[in-house]
A and B are shown apart, each in its own frame.
Chain A
């Protein structure tokens, strides 16, 4: 097959439509050179994860006064270095850190310093400086520049992947799948509609990849393609079940199994909400602790899938970035939670990541050291970290990163992240 990046969009769409017409639905996300190419996973934590809760700065002299109540309630942090620890629910991430595959980034955030979830997520995903300034996403633009494909583990295309037509989407279903017979008839129905035929063909291909990935991983194909609990009698009204515990882990497993395949997607986006913690934040069985546990298990499952036999060491070529839209107040509020703040934490994981360290130009937590007297200061623009991932993984130069992917960011140098 011709290499994907030698085709322009029109040819690519035409080629896919031709595939649809012949009924061949084999997908090849990576192209022939796929096995050598870098892979990127972007995990968006929606709701503003408290970076000081997930990565407590226990060695900061002002930490104890502000956060002791949480530490007592949540349990002793897992030590990283003299200054930082990890929340006890992040045990698997802790062992990745010790193995040198997890880099912790702290006091990081956006150029936008207000505290609206919606605006901050818009900035995080668009890669701009102000909400609304850019209407498509940095990862979409990076894929457009390299003509590579991407997959969002969701029904619609999230903002971060917008701006490029070569993006597939997949999410578990709560509804019965169409039969092969119906699909064949639909394909004939779309004989004269290239776009619908193309979308159906891609969808069938993604479904087939999911099933193949699941069976390669030794799972029942249904376990990846069905949403948890969907084996039960369909709910009245055909509604979506609410995302429950375990969904994220299952999605990570599916993403890992897909990326482990030589022809798997090179770029995957996952998003998980529920990090807004205004009350009872540190409760040992509370929502935030459960979420952190899911994140921990999910990332471990992603890695395990990419290190499974037959995965061709996909983990070695992969970089995972986990980021949220902002951090939270340093002080605990009146309802034993925290309110929207600015600086927060992020993580970069992968086989080649120079991990086992905390990357932070630590501004300090004493009231006078805080942003507007209340929040952790941002001392590292998250775009530097993202540039540090995209540069080597997708083969993008500083100029493309500074002009196209993150317009107007030429002054921000990519953070060096890889082992020599």
Chain B
């Protein structure tokens, strides 16, 4: 088989690396295009959906209320201790849930025959970040990826936008369950509770998920949004809640009592009162030219270069708009772009991408994901499902090139090679996995390594393996 540079770029730039480039086949573009669509069914055991997770949370809330009451009545250790034990058990369960989620997410990406689609799962899950670091999610981040991202990867952006915005993980993470219309029935009946609007979700949907922050900062550009738009959109969002109220029977529901009455004007359009308005706002946002620009730029930056070529971004934007916001069309347009096959490897892999491509290269199974379930990726500076902010993990080479980040990457890779690289021939692997990307220098360094483990480390830490 003829292994071209394009074969290698298909596997490494778009995918997560392959131990043998032959898997790509004779037509690299076709290999990638055929992967597009809904993501693989998640692999793994012990996974709970959001309904089940919230059910546990409800039980926990009930017990907490009991605990508070009992604490108020007694200082008796005989009563307090079992409740403390129970709290500890809950935290242990929560950790196990998070570990099952991590193992599933990484395991699915490691085994998938559609690595380009898995990369896109990671991209969109990061675009719509929910983070366990906030302490509000209780293990919902895994369910979020499985329920709101994976099924919508081959469909329209508006559907993914709706699924993510209304997912209990997002409603909790960005505080919408605490947002109440100031003139709503709930606020009117409980003036002493000072219920009011929380703009967090509205702002991040506009700033991070759709139009982009640059738009609001530039008054000269059409499509800019104002504080009034944020407030009005937050009012549209009132009533949509994820409640751990034991009486609630659905992970997400619309509570009319908390909804701000009256019509709202967002970006110059008037939307009626009620739950249906949200769908319309999200549809309009999804098809907004600024959203197309924001998504096109972000995807091109993610796959290709920290500063992507403007002409490429413009074509992606057009492909998105022409298709009515179809993600498959957007993802496909990048595969078809000549720039994506011409540029040198510039993007530095994130720790997550590095770990996954190492695992695929070495053909590792679930053993490398024995606890902690992230395989130690966190030591490289990226604690999965615990992003530091709603903006998600950064995407520029500079962000991952901090000295200690590179140092820990070397240490982590060395440990991986020492544990799982037994009997592997790095020289043969280098040729099979990197093909034309393998530089003469790297070939020589691998060739001259002191032993087999060191050869594997050099291969996995080489510039052509670190970059994509």
Q: A residues engaging B (CB < 8 A)?
A: 116-119, 122, 132, 135, 152, 154-157, 159, 165, 167-171, 173-178, 181-182, 185-186, 188-193, 195-196, 198-200, 202-203, 205-207, 234, 236-240, 334-336
Q: Please, how many angstroms separate the alpha-carbon atoms of A159 and B387 in the complex?
A: 13
List, in ascending order, chain B residues with CB within 8 A of A334's CB.
68, 71-72
Number of interface residues of B (CB under 8 A): 63
Q: Please, how many angstroms separate the alpha-carbon atoms of A195 and B396 in the complex?
A: 13
Residues A206 and B404 in contact, CB atoms below 8 Å apart: yes
Given A155-B380, A169-B402, A178-B411, A237:B207 Cβ within 8 A: no
Residues B372 and A165 in contact, CB atoms below 8 Å apart: no
Return the chain B residue nearest A334 by Cβ: B68
Residues A207 and B379 in contact, CB atoms below 8 Å apart: no
Is B90's beta carbon under 8 Å from chain A? no
List, in ascending order, chain A residues with CB within 8 A of B462's CB.
189
Q: Please, how many angstroms separate the alpha-carbon atoms of A289 and B448 in the complex?
A: 55
Residues B439 and A192 in contact, CB atoms below 8 Å apart: yes
Residues B445 and A240 in contact, CB atoms below 8 Å apart: no
| CB<8 Å pairs between A and B, sample of 14 | A156-B402, A157-B399, A159-B388, A173-B408, A178-B411, A178-B414, A181-B454, A182-B457, A196-B463, A236-B370, A237-B370, A237-B372, A238-B419, A336-B71
Is B374's beta carbon under 8 Å from chain A? yes
Give B394-416 as 1s and 0s: 1 = Cβ < 8 Å from A's Cβ atoms: 00011101111111101110111
Return the chain B residue nearest A207 by Cβ: B407
Return the chain A residue nearest B376 by Cβ: A238
Q: Please, how many angstroms separate the alpha-carbon atoms of A191 and B444 in the complex?
A: 13
Is B175's beta carbon under 8 Å from chain A? yes
Question: Which residues of B (94-139) have their CB < 8 Å from a CB of A?
Answer: 133-135
Is B309's beta carbon under 8 Å from chain A? no
Return the chain A residue nearest B134 by Cβ: A118
List, in ascending order, chain A residues with CB within 8 A of B133's CB.
118
Q: Please, how many angstroms separate the alpha-carbon atoms of A191 and B466 in the complex?
A: 14
Given A118-B389, A239-B372, A178:B410 Cβ within 8 A: yes
Q: Please, how many angstroms separate the alpha-carbon atoms of A199 and B441 in the complex?
A: 19
Residues B175 and A116 in contact, CB atoms below 8 Å apart: yes
Residues B72 and A203 in contact, CB atoms below 8 Å apart: no
Q: B residues engaging A (CB < 8 A)?
A: 67-68, 71-72, 133-135, 175, 200, 203-204, 207, 348, 368-372, 374-376, 378-382, 388-391, 397-399, 401-408, 410-412, 414-416, 419, 439, 441-442, 445, 448-450, 454, 457-458, 461-463, 466-467
Return the chain A residue nearest B445 by Cβ: A189
Q: Please, how many angstroms separate the alpha-carbon atoms of A175 and B415 in the complex?
A: 7
Residues B414 and A176 in contact, CB atoms below 8 Å apart: yes
Residues B441 and A192 in contact, CB atoms below 8 Å apart: yes
- Nearest CB on B from A316, distance (A): 29
Return the chain B residue nearest A157 by Cβ: B402
- Nearest CB on B from A361, distance (A): 26
List, in ascending order, chain B residues with CB within 8 A of A165's CB.
398
List, in ascending order, chain A residues with CB within 8 A of B416's CB.
238
Q: Please, how many angstroms separate the alpha-carbon atoms of A176 and B457 in the complex?
A: 14
Given A155-B380, A192-B439, A334-B68, A238:B412 Cβ within 8 A: yes
List, in ascending order, chain B residues with CB within 8 A of A206's CB.
403-404, 407
Q: Please, how many angstroms separate the alpha-carbon atoms of A116 and B200 in the complex?
A: 11
Q: Please, how many angstroms separate the alpha-carbon atoms of A117 and B207 in the complex?
A: 21
Known: A175-B379, A200-B406, A239-B371. 4 other contacts (CB 8 A): A117-B135, A156-B382, A156-B405, A200-B410
Q: Please, how many angstroms separate the alpha-carbon atoms of A238 and B359 in the complex?
A: 14
List, in ascending order, chain B residues with CB within 8 A of A168's CB.
402-404
The 4 residue pairs across chains A and B that have the minimum distance between CB atoms: A239-B372, A238-B376, A203-B403, A169-B404
Return the chain A residue nearest B370 by Cβ: A237
List, in ascending order, chain B residues with CB within 8 A of A177's CB.
411
Q: Please, how many angstroms separate the alpha-carbon atoms of A171 and B411 in the complex?
A: 13
Given A189-B442, A189-B462, A190-B463, A202:B378 Cβ within 8 A: no
List, in ascending order, chain B residues with CB within 8 A of A181's CB.
450, 454
List, in ascending order, chain B residues with CB within 8 A of A196's CB.
348, 401, 406, 463, 466
Return the chain A residue nearest B442 by Cβ: A189
- Nearest CB on A from B102, distance (A): 11
List, in ascending order, chain B residues with CB within 8 A of A240's CB.
372, 376, 378-379
Q: Please, how many angstroms separate the alpha-carbon atoms of A185 and B368 in the complex?
A: 26
Residues B414 and A182 in contact, CB atoms below 8 Å apart: yes
Q: Please, how many angstroms separate the alpha-carbon atoms of A417 and B415 in the complex?
A: 48
* Interface residue from A175, A195, A198 paired with B412 (Cβ < 8 Å): A175
Given A168-B402, A189-B463, A203:B407 Cβ within 8 A: yes
* Interface residue from A167, A173, A175, A234 paired with B402 (Cβ < 8 Å): A167
Q: Please, how many angstroms separate the alpha-carbon atoms of A181 and B372 in the complex?
A: 30
Residues B454 and A182 in contact, CB atoms below 8 Å apart: yes
Residues B401 and A132 in contact, CB atoms below 8 Å apart: no
List, in ascending order, chain A residues with CB within 8 A of B412's CB.
175, 238
- Nearest CB on B from A357, distance (A): 36
List, in ascending order, chain A residues with CB within 8 A of B408's CB.
155, 171, 173, 175
Residues B404 and A191 in contact, CB atoms below 8 Å apart: no
- Nearest CB on B from A161, distance (A): 10
Q: Please, how many angstroms separate the alpha-carbon atoms of A117 and B388 in the complex?
A: 11
Given A189-B445, A335-B71, A238:B404 Cβ within 8 A: no
List, in ascending order, chain A residues with CB within 8 A of B442's CB.
189
List, in ascending order, chain A residues with CB within 8 A of B454's CB.
181-182, 185
* Interface residue from A171, A182, A203, A237 paired with B406 (Cβ < 8 Å): A203
- Nearest CB on A from B262, distance (A): 26
Q: Please, how many angstroms separate the alpha-carbon atoms of A205 and B403 in the complex?
A: 9
- Nearest CB on B from A100, distance (A): 36
List, in ascending order, chain A residues with CB within 8 A of B450's CB.
181
- Nearest CB on A from B90, distance (A): 14
Residues A155 and B375 in contact, CB atoms below 8 Å apart: no
Residues B401 and A155 in contact, CB atoms below 8 Å apart: no
Return the chain A residue nearest B345 by Cβ: A193
